[in-house]
């Protein structure tokens, strides 16, 4: 049984030093019991206490890593039902399905599509997994395909079969990549458990309902296998979604360890319509897929899924922010215009993109507004004359340009008077309100 907050409190140093981020040991104990804190945050817990608290300190949903190195995917480790409670920790991975019955040309093109990637707000968005399925029933064919995937993709690998011999052949080909073995079932549990243990690989467990799933994970835990991924077996959207919610809620709210693992879902087996499949996948990004297996990757459906995932898994307490400073766009010189914006990443990328579109080389001053957008930062008093002027002086931009003209966003036009007072020698120009109007504005300034 997990320990209560009071039981944990009794084991803590009770000095209320606050180094764990909350003011008292009691508050820390309560957070720990609720799975909202990690024991490592308290530097004063003895080794003996750590052992005693290990169960309480373990995340209610175990983090599981698939693959190795930079491309390894970590899923699970979640501590909340809803993003606004704290944040969601580990984004789900997207897998492309490749079967050993497919033509070589199809396999090759899917391996190419597994490399799709996009730049957005300074981040590289890409899928992480290739799911290799032994549909032929031929272990040798399966092994050959796994080998090919390993040689042609740096994605992490899922091996799909219910035949332990085929899985063993697949693992033989890529054991060094620590693949996810899919799946242990009621019928093959012992053989797959043995294979996973020998190769230290994570295992997906597939059952026909949640009760059976809990029984199987308990057996695997007793066999010493702890890195598990859950498949409740449902292949209708309604049932699969219900299962995801029950698994998450039972693990977090009831601290039910047998379901305290990340999940794998198969939109590819829920519909034949690619657009419907993308919509189903988007539902599991929000609730609560750990690995989402798609029948194929196409840019027009993959990109929105990657962006949705990025948005949902961004820490709501820390907006994506760009570093404060002077950004050179298009090779500016001493006669180039100087624009100002906030450091909310999306704002920065929109404004810098529009300046690039204008083909007018410019300096962009990005002021640290704690990741808030222009209007929000202005309303919060972080993007007003008193805050902007010291930044402009300190930035060194005055040494880079001959004409001291600063173009501020149209939305903070009210600050222009204050800025002229605070920045003697600078002329303050009010730029457009919308980023899309920047190219025309800069061209007009130039002429």
Task: Please report, as ranges, the residues that interact with ligand SF4 according to CB under 6 A.
Answer: 12-13, 15-20, 24-25, 28, 42, 44
Question: Is the Cβ of residue 44 or residue 287 nearer to ligand SF4 in the bound state?
Answer: 44
Question: Is the Cβ of residue 13 or residue 122 nearer to ligand SF4 in the bound state?
Answer: 13
* Cα–Cα distance measured from residue 141 to residue 161, given in angstroms and rounded to the nearest whole number: 13
Q: Specify the DSSP element, H or E, that contains 29.
A: helix 25-33
Q: What minimum distance in Å lies between the beta carbon of 86 and ligand SF4?
A: 18
Q: What minimum distance in Å lies between the beta carbon of 385 and ligand SF4?
A: 41
Question: Is the Cβ of residue 14 or residue 254 nearer to ligand SF4 in the bound state?
Answer: 14
* β-bridge mates for residue 364, sequence order: 327, 339
- Three-class SS of residue 75? strand
State how far Cα 362 lies from the chain centre: 33
Instruction: Read off the tokens for 88.
Output: 């969601």
* β-bridge mates for residue 204, sequence order: 182, 229
Q: What minimum distance in Å lies between the beta carbon of 32 and ligand SF4?
A: 9
Going by C-alpha positions, the residue among 276, 268, 228 that lies closest to residue 75 is 228
Question: Is the Cβ of residue 49 or residue 169 nearer to ligand SF4 in the bound state?
Answer: 49
Instruction: Read off the tokens for 84.
Output: 């606004």
Q: 């009621």: which residue's tokens?
A: 186
Question: Is the Cβ of residue 28 or residue 327 nearer to ligand SF4 in the bound state?
Answer: 28
Q: What minimum distance in Å lies between the beta carbon of 260 and ligand SF4?
A: 24
Instruction: Read off the tokens for 432.
Output: 């457009």
* Cα–Cα distance measured from residue 372 to residue 192, given in angstroms and rounded to the nearest whole number: 50
Question: Is the Cβ of residue 15 or residue 335 nearer to ligand SF4 in the bound state?
Answer: 15
Q: What minimum distance in Å lies between the beta carbon of 22 and ligand SF4?
A: 7
Q: What minimum distance in Å lies between the beta carbon of 45 and ligand SF4?
A: 7
Q: What minimum distance in Å lies between the beta carbon of 30 and ligand SF4?
A: 11
Q: What minimum distance in Å lies between the beta carbon of 251 and ligand SF4?
A: 25
Q: 């419907």: which residue's tokens?
A: 276
Question: Is the Cβ of residue 46 or residue 117 nearer to ligand SF4 in the bound state?
Answer: 46
Q: 């060194």: which residue's tokens?
A: 396
> Does residue 183 have a cis peptide bond before it, meaning omega lies within 30 degrees of 0?
yes
Instruction: Read off the tokens for 153.
Output: 């993709």
- Three-class SS of residue 348? helix
Going by C-alpha positions, the residue among 262, 352, 267 that lies closest to residue 60 is 262
Q: What minimum distance in Å lies between the beta carbon of 221 and ligand SF4?
A: 29
* β-bridge mates for residue 94, sequence order: 292
Interior angle at CA 139, CA 138 and CA 144, nearest 5: 100
* Cα–Cα distance measured from residue 10 to residue 14, given in angstroms and rounded to the nearest whole number: 8
Q: What minimum distance in Å lies between the beta carbon of 18 and ligand SF4?
A: 5
Report CA-CA distances (Å) from 395 to 47, 390, 401, 427: 48, 8, 12, 17
Question: Is the Cβ of residue 24 or residue 199 nearer to ligand SF4 in the bound state?
Answer: 24
Positive or negative torsion for Cα 414, 419, 421, 422: positive
Question: Is the Cβ of residue 37 or residue 291 nearer to ligand SF4 in the bound state?
Answer: 37
Question: Is the Cβ of residue 29 or residue 259 nearer to ligand SF4 in the bound state?
Answer: 29
Question: Is the Cβ of residue 40 or residue 403 nearer to ligand SF4 in the bound state?
Answer: 40
Beta carbons of 66 and 156 less than 8 angstroms apart:
yes
Q: What minimum distance in Å lies between the beta carbon of 58 and ligand SF4?
A: 17
Contacts of 92 (CB under 8 A, 6+ apart): 75, 284, 285, 289, 290, 291, 292, 309
């Amino acid at each position: 049984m997990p320990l209560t907050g009071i039981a944990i409190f009794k084991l803590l140093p009770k000095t209320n030093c606050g180094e764990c981020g909350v003011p008292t040991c009691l508050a820390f104990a309560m957070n720990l019991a609720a799975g909202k804190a990690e024991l490592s945050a308290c530097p004063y817990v003895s080794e003996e206490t750590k052992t005693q608290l290990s169960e309480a300190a373990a995340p209610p949903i175990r983090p599981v890593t698939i693959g190795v190195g930079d491309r390894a995917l970590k899923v699970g480790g979640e501590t909340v039902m809803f993003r606004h409670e704290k944040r969601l920790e580990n984004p789900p991975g997207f897998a492309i399905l490749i079967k050993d019955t497919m033509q070589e040309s199809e396999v090759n093109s899917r391996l190419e599509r597994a490399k799709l990637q996009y730049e957005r707000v300074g981040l590289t968005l890409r899928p992480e997994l290739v799911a290799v399925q032994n549909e032929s029933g031929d272990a040798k064919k399966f092994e050959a395909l796994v080998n090919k995937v390993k040689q042609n993709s740096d994605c992490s690998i899922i091996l799909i079969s219910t035949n332990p011999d085929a899985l063993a052949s697949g693992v033989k080909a890529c054991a060094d990549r620590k693949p996810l073995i899919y799946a242990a079932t009621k019928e093959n549990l012992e053989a797959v458990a043995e294979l996973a243990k020998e190769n230290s690989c994570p295992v997906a467990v597939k059952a026909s309902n949640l009760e059976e799933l809990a029984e199987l994970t308990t057996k695997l835990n007793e066999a010493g296998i702890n890195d598990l991924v859950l498949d409740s077996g449902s292949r209708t959207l309604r049932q699969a979604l219900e299962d995801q919610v029950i698994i998450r809620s039972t693990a977090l709210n009831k601290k039910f360890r047998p379901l305290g693992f990340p999940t794998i879902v198969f939109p590819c087996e829920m519909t034949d319509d690619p657009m419907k499949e993308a919509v189903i996948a988007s539902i599991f990004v929000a609730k609560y897929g750990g690995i989402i297996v798609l029948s194929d990757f196409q840019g027009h459906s993959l990109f929105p899924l990657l962006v949705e995932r990025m948005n949902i898994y961004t820490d709501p307490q820390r907006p994506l922010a760009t570093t404060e400073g002077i950004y050179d766009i298009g090779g500016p010189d001493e006669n180039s215009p100087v624009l100002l914006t906030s450091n909310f990443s999306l704002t920065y990328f929109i404004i810098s993109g529009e300046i690039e579109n204008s083909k007018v080389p410019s300096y962009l001053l990005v002021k640290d507004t704690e990741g808030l957008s222009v209007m929000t930062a202005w309303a919060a008093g972080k993007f007003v004359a008193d805050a902007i002027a010291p930044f402009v002086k300190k930035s060194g931009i005055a040494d880079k340009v001959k004409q001291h003209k600063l173009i501020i966003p149209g939305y903070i036009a009210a600050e222009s008077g204050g800025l002229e007072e605070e920045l003697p020698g600078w002329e303050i120009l009010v730029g457009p309100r919308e980023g899309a109007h920047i190219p025309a504005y800069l061209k007009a300034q130039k002429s």
